[in-house]
Amino acid sequence: MPDKGEYSFSTCWNVKRHAVGKDMMEEIRSLGFRYVELNYNVTEEHLRTIQPMIEQGEIAVSSVHNVFPFIGDKDYDTDSVMLGFDDEAKRRRSVELLIRSMEYADRCGARAVVVHPGEVPFEYNIDAELKKLYREEGKDSAAYRALWAKMLERRERLGPSYTKRIQDSLEQASEHAARRGWNVAIGIETRSRCYQMPTLAEAKAICDHLQGAPVYLWYDIGHATMMERMGLYDNDAELERVKPYIYGVHIHETPELSDHWCPYVHSGDPRGFDRFLGAIEQARVKVYELKAACRPDDIHQSHRLITGKIQAGNDR
């Protein structure tokens, strides 16, 4: 199988299929990937057979995804207030868990920790209702516009206070990492729900505030596409401004509002994903984050298209 070079591959694809970490790594290696991102569903039991592979150079870890390894606590899962909790005890605990992820990243030789920093909380999942309206009535329907305005008003009104707490939390984790001598970046990830943080503008503001700390943007392309379609921000208008802040990318495509598919292959669009190739090329860590339904042939075809287009652009 052709070597995928510097590109990494997330265990998001196969973690649910394997109880043994070594088997999970071997399946990813069979695709031609030398680098992996260990996602938040990887357990300490998985690590028992992955760590020897790392030490023997059979596989390398590009990044880990907070909270890592897996913990079964819904207060700190991937869709929570996390680093922005107004409950100080919970916020401190979220910082401790990020530090724990950074320690494991350092132990695994990873360059970065991917972080879902937080959200503006709502009493119910307003994003799910908006997506239902988007699919059934359309983005321009009166019902969608009314609910979107309600979501946006609360998000914009409360966002600054959550941003402040997220900044404080990231600063504390960064200071701890500096004391320990860890050379691990924190990548705050663009998210898949409209009330979650950060937008591209919020990410830029957080990074600017924490200049000198190892805090960067982790540009999740599929999520950013979804948020653009829903109306939260405009990638075409904003991507150039945030490119200098990008440390890593999650590579996947979002047909309609369904994410984690293989770029170009599952959308059938031969050009729509091209606008993201510059961000992929410049990112220090490039990770495919694909769902289990993506087949090996689709993964290989998608990779050939992405790398071929990038190479063709460089040759012009």
* Runs of H (alpha helix) within the chain: 21-29, 44-55, 88-108, 126-136, 142-180, 200-209, 221-230, 235-242, 277-282, 296-315
Span 55-113, pLDDT tens digits: 999 999 999 999 999 999 999 999 999 999 999 999 999 999 999 999 999 999 999 99
Span 111-168, pLDDT tens digits: 999 999 999 999 999 999 999 999 999 999 999 999 999 999 999 999 999 999 999 9
Task: Report d(CA 294, CA 113) in Å as an integer.
Answer: 24
Q: What is the pLDDT of residue 79?
A: 95
Interior angle at CA 114, CA 309 and CA 56, nearest 5:
85
Span 183-202, pLDDT tens digits: 999 999 999 999 999 999 99
Enumerate domains of the chain plus CATH numbers.
Answer: 8-315 (3.20.20.150)
Is it the case that residue 286 has pLDDT exceeding 80? yes
Averaged pLDDT, 225-234: 98
Q: What is the pLDDT of residue 315?
A: 80
- Mean pLDDT taken over the chain: 97
Task: Report d(CA 222, CA 213) in Å as an integer.
Answer: 27
Q: What is the pLDDT of residue 195?
A: 98
Q: What is this structure's pTM?
A: 0.97
Band (pLDDT 50/70/90 cuts) for residue 314 is confident
Span 5-31, pLDDT tens digits: 999 999 999 999 999 999 999 999 999
- Cα distances (angstroms) measured from residue 200 to each of 36, 66, 87, 154: 26, 20, 26, 18
Contact 164, 171 (CB under 8 A): no
Q: What is the pLDDT of residue 1?
A: 77
Burial of 277 (0-12, 13-18, 19+ CB in 10 A): middle
